[in-house]
Amino acid sequence: MSVYITSTGIFLPGPSIAVEEVENILGAVHGKPSSLRVQIQKANKIQTRHYAIDENQQTTHSNTEMAANAAEQCLDRAFIGREKVGMLAVASTQGDLPAPGMASMVQAELELPEIEILTTHGICSSSIMALKAAWNSMRLEEHEAALVVSSELASRLLKKQRYEAATTSTFATKRIDFSTEFLRWMLSDGAGALLLQNKPAPKGLSLRIDWIRAFSHAHALPTCMSVGSAGRTEDKRTWQDYNTYAEAEKDGALLLRQDVRLLENLMRMGVDGYLRLVEEGVSNPSKVDHFLCHYSSHHFRNKILELLDRAGVGIPEEKWWTNLYTRGNTGSASLFIMLDEFLRTDEVSIKEGESVLCFVPESGRFNTTYVHLTVVSQ
């Protein structure tokens, strides 16, 4: 049975934050302006973004609320009632609570009665895993409709107080290493939602899901992006192994880290994965009409272009579409937000029968995911 994306919705908290205002919202650590901010922002070229915290670093929206708001917009735009939804799949890097799962919290917020739920926990690709689970459930004809939501609230991990609380090790000198500071200037907040149905929407364009594939390389490389450890190779403790959570925070075990030295591997593995799909006959780059690629920084765009061309599976740059520069890197929610805005943009003409290839690489421990869609109408 074919499955279609028939409605989308997004939620972007607060006003749009210009690049020069980011440190005013997150706060200057120990009152000192960052010496790395301009360098990192110049490379990523993100001009505006959204945060669910205010200038006093107080939370304005919970992750659950953002997810529910995106879902509400998606359902409001749909041509079916919410009583038809039989499954809710929710993805996030980190929900508001360690337990229960975020899908439970979003279901309660939406007041959806007695439905199947799924929470997928990961980083950027967790939304694709949620989408695939819902897609497969629909293909088995278990549900008439499924709602897939992804939401990220990274700013709570990036505010100055998190860094100021890490008072031991290198943080005692009030210096932040590059791997710890890097993501402060990369990530932003937001949520996106997709409605899946067993037939196209009666009006407008829908997206038929043709296939979803994923390749994890966790066996081959160390962790690249994480939160929950102090980042020392010789120290295997996680935040739960300290005597108190306060000790973990002092040791920097609650800070978000990115080993930027490993990121080149992600680009290469992502392109290798797509080459594999081409060799298997699953995808044909010459027949791709639109390419939605989730990359965290403009710095990586040319590298992906170059690697695709070198592998003989290049996709012309005029077929690429992104909203990175206005929305920032919203992690697992990025593709859902991108799809919503892509379907509504005036920048490109989207026609029935065209193909859309989506590529979402995850740097957590190197999971690369791919989704192929076809534009249809009833």
Q: Tell me what pLDDT residue 230 has.
A: 87
- 151 & 216 share domain: no
- 273 & 193 share domain: no
Are 139 and 121 contacting, i.e. CB atoms less than 8 angstroms apart? no
The whole-angstrom separation of Cα 262 and Cα 274 is: 20
| Rounded average pLDDT over 178-202 | 95
The answer to the question of residue 29 being in a domain is yes
pLDDT, one tens digit per residue, over 224-260 is 889 988 888 778 899 999 999 999 999 999 999 998 8
Task: Please name which of 24, 13, 335 lies closest in space to residue 184, comparing C-alpha atoms.
Answer: 24
- 9 & 138 share domain: yes
Number of domains the chain contains? 2
Q: Tell me what pLDDT residue 174 has.
A: 56
- 272 & 356 share domain: yes
- 38 & 122 share domain: yes
- 58 & 123 share domain: yes
- 74 & 143 share domain: yes
The answer to the question of residue 168 being in a domain is no
- Structure tokens given for 347: 């920048």
The answer to the question of residue 175 being in a domain is no
- 114 & 216 share domain: no
- Per-chain mean pLDDT for the chain: 93
- 190 & 307 share domain: no
Q: Tell me what pLDDT residue 346 has.
A: 85
Q: State residue 335 phi and psi, 5-degree precision.
A: -65, -40
The model's confidence at residue 9, banded by pLDDT at 50, 70 and 90, is very high
Q: In the predicted model, is pLDDT for residue 200 greater than 70?
A: yes
For 246-253, which contacts have Cβ atoms below 8 Å and span 24 or more sequence positions? Answer: 249/162, 249/165, 249/166, 250/165, 250/166, 250/167, 250/168, 251/166, 251/168, 251/169, 252/166, 252/168, 252/169, 252/170, 252/171, 252/180, 253/228, 253/229
The answer to the question of residue 233 being in a domain is no
Given CA atoms 265, 267, 271, 273 in this order, what sign does their dihedral have? positive
Q: Tell me what pLDDT residue 265 has.
A: 85
The answer to the question of residue 282 being in a domain is yes
Q: Tell me what pLDDT residue 347 has.
A: 86
Q: Does the predicted model carry a pTM greater than 0.85?
A: yes
Q: Tell me what pLDDT residue 130 has.
A: 98
Longest C-alpha distance within the chain, in Å? Answer: 63
Provide the pairing of β-strand 206-216 with 4-11. Answer: antiparallel
Q: In the predicted model, is pLDDT for residue 173 greater than 70?
A: no
The answer to the question of residue 141 being in a domain is yes
- 152 & 12 share domain: yes
- Structure tokens given for 140: 């088995």
| Rounded average pLDDT over 209-227 | 92
The answer to the question of residue 88 being in a domain is yes
Q: Tell me what pLDDT residue 267 has.
A: 84
pLDDT, one tens digit per residue, over 300-323 is 999 999 999 999 999 999 999 999
Q: Tell me what pLDDT residue 231 has.
A: 81
The answer to the question of residue 352 being in a domain is yes
DSSP-derived 3-state class of residue 360: strand
Helix count (H) and strand count (E) of the chain? 13, 13
Domain interval for residue 193: 4-158+186-197
CATH of the domain at 214: 3.40.47.10
- 28 & 136 share domain: yes
- 287 & 190 share domain: no
